[in-house]
Amino acid sequence: MTTAVITVDRVTKNFTNPSGAQLPVLSNVSLELRDGEIVALLGKSGSGKSTLLRIIAGLVRPSAGVARYRDSEISAPNDGTAMVFQTFALLPWLTVQQNVELGLRALGVPEPERTQRTMAAIDMIGLDGFENAYPKELSGGMRQRVGFARALVVQPEVLLMDEPFSALDVLTAENLRGQLIRLWAQSDFPTRTVLMVTHNIEEAVQLADRILVLDTNPGRIKGEIRIPLEHPRDTRGRHFLNIVDQAYRMLTDTAFDGDRSIAPTPATRPLPDASVDGMGGMLDLVAADGGRADLPKLAGDLRFELDDLMPLVDAATLLGLAVTTDADLELTLDGRNFAEADIDTAKRIFARLARTNAPLVAAIDHALSSAPNHRLHDGFFLDLLRRGFTEDAARRQLRIAVDWGRYGELYEYDAGEHLLTRDPLAA
């Protein structure tokens, strides 16, 4: 067993919402990152992946528990780590060379050494000839190469990557992933340990030695997948695809859903960010495949990543239109009927399931049925939602509930007046 470089010990992180309530983002997370390994943090949106990465980088303090670099508690920016961001985060008024040497300037490295290390990092990452170019002159892939060079030039012991390939096109991302693995395998590569956040399952299996799967609301370690495959990995091989299936099974496992004897609320069972049209399209594809589809194959056929597909899957399973079994999505009887129905029948099926299984939709429908004139301003529901969500998340939850309720003809919404209304004669 190699030495732990990073230790996260029972870390919890809460953020305070506008009403002063504590919103849990991470709960009792423990992990170790060891010398010479690549670990991927995989999870849906809202699982706290990026927050955990920032705690390790020393950019965010945990609310409880402790994160350590070697034997020292991380309580300030961690000089043993460097981060590569999703959005490149380059300063547009600086050249490639000036952007790369920023970290060395902050460390007070003398100019001759700074120049030598900067040029070596630019050469290593394949940007020779672009030293004096500005970010606006570079493609997305080249800008991300600058981001890698800027992180690696300080020779961090741990490289932290926050979805570094997600803003790139498919071919560029694949090229950079392959180059990263080839560099990491070289004995003179300055960093031996990598922790990466991703929502791309195939990317995690392609790069990592271990995958830590995070659950949501709040984020916590759901399980670990070890990947005993040599690099470079055959992404079409049977062993690779079996691990992809295992990751999908772990992500769709409902073992963490909590005590089912307690009635769910809008906060404990939030609405996935999925449109009815998106759900319907996915269910149509599954119905055309005999009513059961392999999730990895479905995602690959659609060129979807985890954050694209899983909200649709979560919405369909929350409503009872489908169930997940062994990384497959299978339509329920209601799901089959919904996929095959005419528009009016599909709306009635959806309305019945939303009232039964979507707590926020049910709460709005019930409140409107009891309110004078069956009318309420959206601020009433936003105030309630702010107790369990951030401001942005509260507004997103209400938007989804409005879309679902409109489709099921449960209630209407006047955006100009911010007014929800319900037909008193509606069933």
Task: Give the DSSP letter string of 179-195.
Answer: HHHHHHTSTT-S--EEE
Residue 119: predicted pLDDT: 93
Burial of 134 (0-12, 13-18, 19+ CB in 10 A): middle
Question: Which strands sit side by side in the sheet containing 64-69, from one edge to the other?
Answer: 22-34, 4-16, 64-69, 72-73
Domain boundary among 339, 361, 394: 339
Look at the pTM and tell me if it is higher than 0.75.
yes
Helix runs in 101-257, H state only: 102-106, 111-124, 140-152, 170-184, 201-207, 238-252
Q: Give the tens place of pLDDT for each residue, 320-354.
A: 999 998 888 999 999 999 999 999 999 999 999 99
Let me know whether 181 and 328 are in one domain. no
Residue 256: predicted pLDDT: 46
**CA distances to 274, 405, 411 from 414, in Å:** 21, 13, 10
Query: Does residue 270 form part of some domain?
Result: no
CATH at 305:
1.10.10.10
Let me know whether 362 and 237 are in one domain. no
DSSP state of 199: S
Q: Give the tens place of pLDDT for each residue, 192-249.
A: 899 999 888 888 999 999 999 998 878 899 999 999 999 888 888 989 999 998 998 8
Let me know whether 84 and 194 are in one domain. yes
Q: Give the tens place of pLDDT for each residue, 137-146.
A: 988 888 888 9
16 three-state secondary structure: strand
- Residue 255 pLDDT exceeds 60: no
Residue 160: predicted pLDDT: 93
Let me know whether 303 and 356 are in one domain. no
Mean pLDDT value across the chain? 88
Helix runs in 209-357, H state only: 238-252, 276-288, 295-302, 306-319, 333-340, 343-357
What b/e readout covers 26-60, taking b as 16+ CB neighbours within 10 angstroms? bbebebbbbeebbbbbbbbebbbbbbbbbbbbbbb
Residue 192: predicted pLDDT: 85
Let me know whether 327 and 390 are in one domain. no
Let me know whether 334 and 355 are in one domain. no
Domain boundary among 287, 306, 339: 339
Let me know whether 306 and 352 are in one domain. no
- Residue 151 pLDDT exceeds 80: yes
Query: Does residue 188 form part of some domain?
Result: yes
Domain boundary among 306, 339, 372: 339
- What CA–CA distance (Å, rounded) separates 57 from 80? 8
Count of domains observed in the chain: 3
Let me know whether 220 and 76 are in one domain. yes
What b/e readout covers 246-279, taking b as 16+ CB neighbours within 10 angstroms? bbbbbbbeeeeeeeeeeebebbebbbbbbebebb
Tokens 């679902």 sit on residue: 404
Domain range holding 201?
4-252
Let me know whether 223 and 164 are in one domain. yes
**Local confidence band at 260 (pLDDT 50, 70, 90 cut-offs):** very low
Let me know whether 177 and 314 are in one domain. no
Let me know whether 40 and 138 are in one domain. yes
How does DSSP assign 230-259, residue by residue?
PSSP-TTSHHHHHHHHHHHHHHH--TTS--
- Residue 98 pLDDT exceeds 90: yes
- What CA–CA distance (Å, rounded) separates 193 from 36? 5
Let me know whether 304 and 351 are in one domain. no
